[in-house]
Chains A and B, each alone.
Chain A
């Protein structure tokens, strides 16, 4: 089985599509991300289950396949960078950082408790492996532009991945970054919109509609791709192909079609789970659903 976080994970492949074995592993890590999220939110007594569940396959394909990382070396200068505007999904990222030996696994057990480096939103000054702090929606794509531009100025070949929420597209700063990234031809900048359709107050389309998303990014000069965000093989294949092209002159925006709360049936169908808490008995049922899920 492929080991997570091995050196230069994106190089030396003959085929861009992951093998069946690799796909099984990525599915397993997405499941791990969901299960750990349930465990950690049980400690905090409130959290963003559904924001993680929509992105679990994306996290898995990024951290265990597409990104150039070294296990246990979160400050390696040439690593690919990842940040998310939807910082409230950090609870799903922390277990992955522990799994990659970026942070001590024991830290997870104290998630959100007094003095813990791990809160609802990621803090780069406290958590090795967090490449940029977030929590205020709308900043991340700008920071990603800065990283990608600086990388080019410093003759570095790392890629910068930025995940943003679909509700986040309502923030004006995102569109400042959209102009800037295209103008500066930041081809090593890969954005991913977690298009799960919901934000805190309800459906994104009902609140302030953001469609047509693909056409907007195309009009801004970005290369666009649409992918089923829960088809981890498709996500990994796409990310591999994008990661393999270092000469691209346009930044990329991937629209990942996802389901908010994917893996827990009532979370998928009932709006209002943006923030929530599951009593241990309900958590056990949710775990059972996730254990049984086949994507």
Chain B
């Protein structure tokens, strides 16, 4: 056998099977099964990408491998929910939210079935895999589907709490996550309330609002700005729909400027949701929506892309500094 000799050579499965952050999804579902819940988890040929391989190994009778048939997966999950199970199905956000949009609308949301849709590797986190694998539209699409709740947890601990909170939640949910390699925002698990923003700081110059993958870098940027003397507030808007109106209104009352940061098109996602609240209230607040500016991402490793699009901590800090200095 002519196998690779270098220890640096790797196989896809091995690489992903040892990524600790990937365990969150499986661990949370394993907890629910242990609590006697009729959980079933499914994926479309991506169990090593989303970490459901761990759940699969532990509960083979509650795991469904759908193969590369995402639409069948979503409709089947709806069927499972219709007869009393609690399905959590996961695939790349690009395929789930775009390819399966109609199945989600008809079979899950319109039918009000408690299916949990896990869109992973969202945003541009698949880097040089390119546009087919990027999802910078999913928040906008999922947010416009009636009956559907949309949540983007910031890290593994928050994801576990979101899964826990989802167990008895009566509506279908789209849960947007990354690659399972997210830096920790929350050192411990804290009870998660769907629809409630988490305030980390309040500020009188600017409030930054982020969701999901941008919470960690935006929070880091906030801390840097505060350390430099600016009064900058920060909200983790993990639930994008229903959005926490009160938290947005409080931020608007405190600071004259709001900056939303998302790994998503600036159209229709978190920034759009915040804009709708502010405009609806007629508030004289300057809102800047930061994200991907209605374009398809370049190809590069993710960290390079985040730097290029000013979506890493430094980039967000620079973006905020320009606002604080009145330079747009």
Binding site for B on A (CB under 8 A): 77, 81, 123-125, 131-136, 139-140, 142-151, 153-154, 156, 158, 172-173, 176-177, 179-180, 183-184
Find out whether the CB atom of A139 lies under 8 angstroms from the CB atom of B111: no
A135 to B75, CA, bound (A): 13
Determine the chain A residues whose CB is within 8 A of the CB of B103 once the complex forms.
Answer: 139, 142, 173
Find out whether the CB atom of B110 lies under 8 angstroms from the CB atom of A143: no
Find out whether the CB atom of B62 lies under 8 angstroms from the CB atom of A180: no
**Best-surrounded residue of B66, B69, B72, B102 (most CB of chain A within 10 A):** B72
B41 to chain A, nearest CB (A): 12
Find out whether the CB atom of A180 lies under 8 angstroms from the CB atom of B102: no
Find out whether the CB atom of B111 lies under 8 angstroms from the CB atom of A150: no
Given A146-B87, A153-B61: 7 more A-B contacts, CB < 8 Å: A143-B107, A145-B76, A147-B80, A154-B84, A172-B71, A173-B103, A180-B72
Find out whether the CB atom of B111 lies under 8 angstroms from the CB atom of A173: no
- Encoded as 1 (CB less than 8 Å from any A CB) or 0, chain B from 55 to 71 comes to 00000011010110101
B105 to chain A, nearest CB (A): 9
What is the chain B residue whose CB lies nearest that of A124?
B111
A125 to chain B, nearest CB (A): 5
Tally of A-B residue pairs with Cβ under 8 A?
Answer: 104
Find out whether the CB atom of A173 lies under 8 angstroms from the CB atom of B62: no
Determine the chain B residues whose CB is within 8 A of the CB of A158 once the complex forms.
Answer: 83
Find out whether the CB atom of B76 lies under 8 angstroms from the CB atom of A146: yes
Known A-B contacts A132-B82, A150-B40; the reply to A143 vs B67 at CB < 8 A is no
A251 to B199, CA, bound (A): 53
Find out whether the CB atom of B106 lies under 8 angstroms from the CB atom of A132: no
Determine the chain A residues whose CB is within 8 A of the CB of B72 once the complex forms.
Answer: 142, 145, 173, 176-177, 180
B146 to chain A, nearest CB (A): 12
Find out whether the CB atom of B83 lies under 8 angstroms from the CB atom of A151: yes
A158 to B84, CA, bound (A): 13
Find out whether the CB atom of A146 lies under 8 angstroms from the CB atom of B62: no
A179 to B67, CA, bound (A): 10
B106 partner, pick from A77, A81, A139, beta carbons under 8 A: A139
User: Nearest 9 pairs between A and B by C-beta?
Assistant: A146-B79, A142-B75, A146-B76, A143-B79, A176-B72, A176-B69, A150-B80, A146-B80, A147-B79
A136 to B76, CA, bound (A): 15
Interface size class of B (residues with CB under 8 A): 20 to 34
Q: Which residues of B, 100-125, contact A by the 8 Å Cβ criterion?
A: 102-103, 106-107, 110-112
A154 partner, pick from B38, B106, B107, B112, beta carbons under 8 A: B38
30 examples of A-B residue contacts, CB within 8 angstroms: A81-B82, A124-B111, A132-B78, A132-B79, A133-B111, A134-B106, A139-B71, A142-B103, A143-B76, A143-B82, A146-B75, A146-B76, A146-B80, A146-B81, A146-B82, A147-B80, A150-B40, A150-B79, A150-B83, A150-B84, A153-B61, A153-B62, A154-B83, A154-B84, A172-B71, A173-B72, A176-B69, A176-B71, A180-B67, A180-B72
Q: Is the interface of B mostly helix, strand, loop or mixed?
A: helix
Determine the chain B residues whose CB is within 8 A of the CB of A143 once the complex forms.
Answer: 75-76, 78-79, 82, 107
Find out whether the CB atom of A149 lies under 8 angstroms from the CB atom of B80: yes
Find out whether the CB atom of A180 lies under 8 angstroms from the CB atom of B75: no
A156 to B62, CA, bound (A): 15
Binding site for A on B (CB under 8 A): 38, 40, 61-62, 64, 66-67, 69, 71-72, 74-85, 87, 102-103, 106-107, 110-112
A142 partner, pick from B79, B83, B85, beta carbons under 8 A: B79
A131 to B78, CA, bound (A): 11
A149 to B83, CA, bound (A): 10
Find out whether the CB atom of B80 lies under 8 angstroms from the CB atom of A142: no
A176 to B67, CA, bound (A): 9
A133 to B76, CA, bound (A): 13
Determine the chain B residues whose CB is within 8 A of the CB of A151 once the complex forms.
Answer: 83
A104 to chain B, nearest CB (A): 21
Find out whether the CB atom of A124 lies under 8 angstroms from the CB atom of B82: yes
Determine the chain B residues whose CB is within 8 A of the CB of A149 once the complex forms.
Answer: 64, 76, 79-80
B83 partner, pick from A125, A156, A173, beta carbons under 8 A: A156
Determine the chain A residues whose CB is within 8 A of the CB of B112 once the complex forms.
Answer: 125
What is the chain A residue whose CB lies nearest that of B68?
A176
B271 to chain A, nearest CB (A): 31
A164 to chain B, nearest CB (A): 13
Determine the chain A residues whose CB is within 8 A of the CB of B38 once the complex forms.
Answer: 153-154
Find out whether the CB atom of A77 lies under 8 angstroms from the CB atom of B69: no
Find out whether the CB atom of A180 lies under 8 angstroms from the CB atom of B69: yes
Determine the chain B residues whose CB is within 8 A of the CB of A77 once the complex forms.
Answer: 84
A77 to B85, CA, bound (A): 12
Known A-B contacts A143-B75, A149-B76; the reply to A136 vs B102 at CB < 8 A is yes
What is the chain A residue whose CB lies nearest that of B147?
A125
B278 to chain A, nearest CB (A): 33
A113 to chain B, nearest CB (A): 21
Find out whether the CB atom of A139 lies under 8 angstroms from the CB atom of B107: yes
A81 to B84, CA, bound (A): 13
**Best-surrounded residue of B61, B71, B77, B112 (most CB of chain A within 10 A):** B71
B82 partner, pick from A135, A139, A147, A154, beta carbons under 8 A: A147
Find out whether the CB atom of B85 lies under 8 angstroms from the CB atom of A153: yes
Determine the chain A residues whose CB is within 8 A of the CB of B77 once the complex forms.
Answer: 146
What is the chain B residue whose CB lies nearest that of A139?
B75
A172 to B72, CA, bound (A): 10
A225 to B61, CA, bound (A): 31
